[in-house]
Structure 1
Amino acid sequence: MVEDRRAALDEVMEARGDWPERSPWLREAVAALPRDLFAPDRLWRWDGHAYVPVDRHVDPDGWADELYASQDAAAVTQVSGGLPSSSLSAQGIVVDMLDALLLEPGHRVWDIGGGQGWNAALAAWRAGSGRVVSTEIDPDLAAFARERLAAAGLDVETLTTDATVTAPAGGRFDRVIATYAVERVPWTWVEAAGPGGRIVFPWGRLGHVALTVAADGRSASGQVQGLAQFMADRTGPVPPSAGPAAFRAVRGDGPAETKRIIDRSLAPLEGDWDLKFALRVAVPDAVITTGRDEDGVNAWVHDGTAGWAMFSATGDGGSALFQGGGRRIGDELLHAWEQWEELGRPEPYDYGITVTPERQFAWLNSPDDGPRWPLYEAAAAASR
C-alpha cells in the first residue's frame, strides 16, 4: 500500500517536471530513504473543523493517503493547542530546497529544525557519513529523529538546541539549511557557513531563499528560489493573525480617523500572487483578509497592534478606504501597490535578500542598485 503511494507520487513528480535536472541524486535519495521511514505512526488531518488523528495501525490506508497526498502537501505530525506545530514538509518542497542548496559529496551540512529527520537523512545520503549535523529545539522530536536516522543506518549527529542563537561546535559548515520560517536571518547562521558557504532558508510567509556568504564573511546575499509556506520559528514572536476576529480585535469600536474614496478595484488582492508577494515585502507586518460581496472585493487590513484599514467596494470599480489606530496602513499598501506597478510588476523570483551584522534588507533585481526594503523586525513590531 505505502509502496504504491510512493511510486504514484514519484510518477506525478516526473510528469510535472519536479525532479531537478541539476540534482538527479535527489530522486535516488528519496527512493532509498522515503518519507514513510521518518513519519510517526500518528498523523493529523484537517476535517474542516479541527485536526483529527490518523493512526497507522487503525487506518493504514488513510495514514498512507495523508502522507503521500500530493507533492505539494505537508503531513502534519504534531498538533499543539489545536494548531500544527511540526510536519513532514511536502516532498516537492523538500526536493526543491535541497536542490537550491547545491549540495556535493563531502560537504559539511548543518540541518536546522530537524523535525523527524527526513531532511537530514537526504542530505546525509548525498554528503556522506558523519557530514551532517541536525539541530532541533523540541527534545521529543530530536529523540524521534535520532532513532529513525539510526534505524536507517545513517551517521547523523542530532542535537537539541536553539539554532537561532547557538551553532553546533566543530567549525564551519559548507551548507546550512533551515526548515522553519524566519523573518530575519540569525547572524549565527552566516558565521557558521563562513566565506563561500550557502544558506537555504524559508523567508517569512513567502518562500525560500538561497544566500551565499561573501569572501570576507561580512555579508550574505541571494535570491528567492521557490514559493511555499512553512512552520514559523518557535522562538520568535507570534505573527499577527488573519481573519475577521483578528481584525475586529485591532479595529475596536471607535470611529475611523480618516475616510476617502479610491479609484482602484481590489480584485487583484484575491489571486495575483505576484502582487501579494510584493506587498508582503514592502509592508511586511500588514495582515490582509479579503472577501467578496455584490459590490466587489473588500479588504480588511491590520498590523496586529493598533493600525487598521478597511477597503469597502463601492460597486463602481472603486472602494471606500477607512483607516484608524494612528497609522495609515491602507495608504502604505496603496503606495506599495503603485510602486510595484511602476517597477513593471516584478515576479517573486526577481527579489532577493542581503544580510549583514548591522542590517538586513530585501531587494529587487540587484542587491547593489535595485530598490530596497528593510526586513521585518517582528520583535520591534510586536512591542510597538
Structure 2
Amino acid sequence: MCRFGERQHRLAAAMADSGSWPEDSPWIREAVAALPRHLFAPDRLWHWDGRAYTPVDRAADPERWADQVYAGPDQPAVTQVSGGLPTSSLSCPSMVADILDSLDPEPGHRVLELGTGTGWNAALLAWRAGPGRVISLEVDEEIARAAERRPTGATVVVADGTAGWPQGAPFDRIIATYAVERIPWAWVAQTRPGGRIVAPWGRLGHVALTVAEDGRSAAGWIQGLATFIPSRGAAPARSWREVRGSEPAPEQSRAARDPRPLHDDAHLLFGLRVLLPDVRIATHSGPRGMTAWLHDGVASWAVLTARPDAPPSVRGAGPRVLADEVSAAWDRWLALGSPQLYDFGMTVTPRAQHVWCRTPAADASWAV
C-alpha cells in the first residue's frame, strides 16, 4: 500500500525548505494538508522519458504513480496527453501556492475558476471561500465529469472559460489555470470593482490585475515566473525543429555576446519575452556548455552556443536575424536598468492592453 502520509510530509517539508509556502497566506498550507494531491489525481498519469510521454498506471505500479503525484515542489503530474503534448496536469505545488497567494481569496468571496483540470485548485479555493462560493469551468467534458466525482466543494460546469460565466457575475475573484496571450475583456467585465483577476500570461509568469472602481480597466503587476499549459483554443505552436526544417545548417560565426545569461537570468528572459513577444527561447546547460535555441514560429531560427574552451558561436537562417534581434532587445533591457520581472505590470481596457515597466505612466510600455 502506498504511504501517502510520508510523501505528503516530505513534500510539505521540501516546500518549506524552498520557501514555497507564502508567508502572507498561511491558509494555503492548511488547505493543502486537508486536501492531499492524490485524492485528485486520475488513475493514469504520464511520465516524460526523454523522448515521449509514457503512461504510469496506478493499478499496475501504485508506488511509481504516487511518486509522480508527490514528485516535488516544482514538479507537475501530467494527467492528459494529446498529439504527444501535455494538455492537462495536476500543477506543481509551488506554482499552485504562488498563484493562490496572488489571488488573495477571502472567506465568503465568490470565485470563478477557469480550467478545472483535476479539481485540486478548485478544492483549495472552496476550502478558503466556503461551500457554494466557487464555480469552475472546464472545456473538456471528460475531465469535467471526472473532477465532479472528486471532493472539490465547487460547482463544475462544462464551458469554455474565454467568455467567463456571465450568469454568475459579478465575482470577487477570477483565476485562470491556463496561459493566455491576452486577458479576455469578459473576465474584467465579470469582476466587481476592486476585485482581482489572476492569470498566467504568455509563456512566462502570471499577472494579478485589480479592477478599477469604475470597472473600465484593470491593472496590476507580474507576480512570478512559471510556465502553464496554454488554453485549448490557442493555435498549436510550431517547435524549433519544425521551424528549423531539414535544410543544411549554415556556417557558424562568432556570437556578439556570451549567451549564458539567457539560461541563468530569469529576469532577462522575461524582459526579452516582453520586448520580443513572438520569439521563443529555450536553453540547456551542462558540463559541455550552454545552448540557446531561438525561433519565431514561422521561418527564422538561430542557435547560440557557449563552450568552456571556445568563444561563443551562432548559426541561424530565415528572413530574420534572430540573434541580432535578441541582442538588440537585450541592450534595451539593460538600458531600462535591467528590470526584474516584478518591475513589469499590465493594464487592460476594452480596446487595448499593454505591458509597462515600473509605472503604468512610463514611456516604456508595449502593446500586447
The SS at the match of 1:368 is: coil
Query: In 2, distance between residues paired with 1:48 and 1:254?
Result: 24
Query: In 1, distance between residues paired with 2:155 and 2:52?
Result: 36
The SS at the match of 1:70 is: coil
The letter for the 2-side match of 1:60 is P
Query: In 2, distance between residues paired with 1:290 and 1:49?
Result: 17
The letter for the 2-side match of 1:161 is A
Query: In 2, distance between residues paired with 1:317 and 1:192?
Result: 54
Residues 303 and 125 of structure 1: CA distance in aligned 2, closer, same or farther (over 3 Å): same
Residues 348 and 274 of structure 1: CA distance in aligned 2, closer, same or farther (over 3 Å): same
Give per-residue Cα distances to partners, 1:219-263, cap 9 Å, x unaligned. 111111111111111101122323xx23423x957989xx99764
Q: Does structure 1 conserve the Cα–Cα contact (< 8 Å) formed by 2:217 and 2:348?
A: yes
What's 2:242 paired with? 246
Deviation of 1:309 (Å): 4.6
Query: In 1, distance between residues paired with 2:65 and 2:286?
Result: 39
1:324 alignment partner, one of 318, 321, 324: 318
Q: Does 1:70 align with 2:63?
A: no
The SS at the match of 2:269 is: helix
Query: In 2, distance between residues paired with 1:338 and 1:359?
Result: 27
Give per-residue Cα distances to partners, 1:99-150, cap 9 Å, x unaligned. 111110110000110111111111011111111000000000110111113x
The SS at the match of 1:195 is: strand
The letter for the 2-side match of 1:361 is H
Query: In 2, distance between residues paired with 1:96 and 1:4?
Result: 23
Worse-superposed segment, 310-319 or 176-185: 310-319
What's 1:349 paired with? 342
Structure 2 gaps, min length 5: none
Q: Please give the residue correspondences for 1:328-339 in structure 2 after superposition, counting only pairs within 5 Å.
A: 328-339=321-332
1:282 alignment partner, one of 260, 275, 285: 275
Say what the alpha-carbon RMSD is for the aligned residues: 2.7
Q: Does structure 2 conserve the Cα–Cα contact (< 8 Å) formed by 1:296 and 1:317?
A: no
Deviation of 1:272 (Å): 2.3
What's 1:34 paired with? 36
Q: Does structure 2 conserve the Cα–Cα contact (< 8 Å) formed by 1:247 and 1:301?
A: no
Query: In 1, distance between residues paired with 2:184 and 2:104?
Result: 21
TM-score (norm 2): 0.90
Q: Does 1:215 align with 2:209?
A: no
TM-score (norm 1): 0.87
Give per-residue Cα distances to partners, 1:268-325, cap 9 Å, x unaligned. 2232222211111110111235578999766553211234455577987465675532
2:296 alignment partner, one of 303, 308, 312: 303
Residues 52 and 324 of structure 1: CA distance in aligned 2, closer, same or farther (over 3 Å): closer
Number of aligned positions between the proteins = 365
Q: Does structure 2 conserve the Cα–Cα contact (< 8 Å) formed by 1:313 and 1:320?
A: no
Query: In 2, distance between residues paired with 1:171 and 1:294?
Result: 54
What's 1:363 paired with? 356
Residues 239 and 8 of structure 1: CA distance in aligned 2, closer, same or farther (over 3 Å): same
The letter for the 2-side match of 1:8 is R
2:167 alignment partner, one of 161, 166, 169: 169
Query: In 2, distance between residues paired with 1:299 and 1:45?
Result: 25
Worse-superposed segment, 52-61 or 97-106: 52-61
Worse-superposed segment, 135-144 or 266-275: 266-275
2:194 alignment partner, one of 193, 196, 203: 196
Q: Does structure 2 conserve the Cα–Cα contact (< 8 Å) formed by 1:120 and 1:132?
A: yes
What's 1:179 paired with? 177
Deviation of 1:217 (Å): 1.2
Q: Does structure 2 conserve the Cα–Cα contact (< 8 Å) formed by 1:114 and 1:145?
A: yes
Q: Does structure 1 conserve the Cα–Cα contact (< 8 Å) formed by 2:243 and 2:299?
A: no
Q: Does structure 2 conserve the Cα–Cα contact (< 8 Å) formed by 1:136 and 1:162?
A: yes
The SS at the match of 2:222 is: strand
Query: In 1, distance between residues paired with 2:286 and 2:119?
Result: 46
Q: Please give the residue correspondences for 1:66-145 in structure 2 after superposition, counting only pairs within 5 Å.
A: 66-145=68-147
Q: Does structure 2 conserve the Cα–Cα contact (< 8 Å) formed by 1:261 and 1:318?
A: yes
Q: Does 1:273 align with 2:266?
A: yes
The letter for the 1-side match of 2:132 is G
1:146 alignment partner, one of 124, 145, 148: 148
Q: Does structure 1 conserve the Cα–Cα contact (< 8 Å) formed by 2:244 and 2:301?
A: no
The letter for the 2-side match of 1:230 is F
Residues 297 and 67 of structure 1: CA distance in aligned 2, closer, same or farther (over 3 Å): closer
Query: In 2, distance between residues paired with 1:81 and 1:344?
Result: 42
What's 2:230 paired with? 232
The letter for the 2-side match of 1:246 is E
Query: In 2, distance between residues paired with 1:122 and 1:291?
Result: 35
What's 1:55 paired with? 57
Residues 7 and 317 of structure 1: CA distance in aligned 2, closer, same or farther (over 3 Å): same
Residues 9 and 328 of structure 1: CA distance in aligned 2, closer, same or farther (over 3 Å): same
1:14 alignment partner, one of 13, 16, 19: 16
Query: In 2, distance between residues paired with 1:120 and 1:265?
Result: 44
Worse-superposed segment, 166-175 or 279-288: 166-175
Deviation of 1:36 (Å): 1.0
Aligned-pair identity (%): 52
